[in-house]
Amino acid sequence: MELRLFTPEHAREVADWPLSAEESALWCGRRESPVAELTVIGWQRHSDVSAFLLVEEEKPLAYGELWFDEEESEVELARLIVAPEHRGRGMGRELARRLLAQAVGDGADSVFLRVHPDNDRALKCWLSAGFVPVESRLAAQWNTRQPVYYLWLRNALSPLRAVDVGQDASAA
């Protein structure tokens, strides 16, 4: 199994992985099933986004993105999804671990992800992959402009700076 950069030839396949409009909304915020192939390809056009596939024997198992914030030296894991036929086998956890290693290897000091509040299965997966909830004040701050009140997680090894949690840096 390996983590590879996403290429557009897999866009149609990834776009078909959500099995319903509800599942699609939990995955990428779009209430459509399948998601348009051009939508998936379009996500790659942002310079601060790198997309990856978890692949085994040339078969894509899972998809995920790293959203880089170089100014903060942070990365958000985003749009993580496992192919339907591979769910329940630890592929989401493996994807998260490999994306985390990629982010750290690319110089990220902190790695975060957000989970739709109705996505219990994903939350359980990310918690088992070593992510923990961020402090409630920080989550509230990050949710200010979001369409839903996401559950925000950070890798348990990621440091939280005092400024992130609204404390005086001298008290940290």
User: Which domain CATH number covers 36?
Assistant: 3.40.630.30
pLDDT tens figures, 135-171: 999 999 999 999 999 999 998 765 554 334 333 333 3
Instruction: Give CA separation, 170 vs 71, 96, 141, in Å.
Output: 21, 33, 21
| 97 half-sphere exposure, CB direction, 13 A CA radius | 11
Segments forming the whole domain that contains residue 95: 2-171
The H or E element containing residue 108 is none
pLDDT tens figures, 107-140: 888 999 999 999 999 999 999 998 999 999 999 9
The H or E element containing residue 145 is none
| The pTM of the whole model exceeds 0.85 | yes
The CA-based dihedral angle spanning residues 51, 52, 53, 55, taken in that order and rounded to the nearest 10 degrees = 160
Instruction: Fill in the DSSP letter of residue 84.
Output: G
The number of distinct structural domains making up the chain is 1
Instruction: Give CA separation, 14 vs 19, 51, 118, in Å.
Output: 11, 12, 21
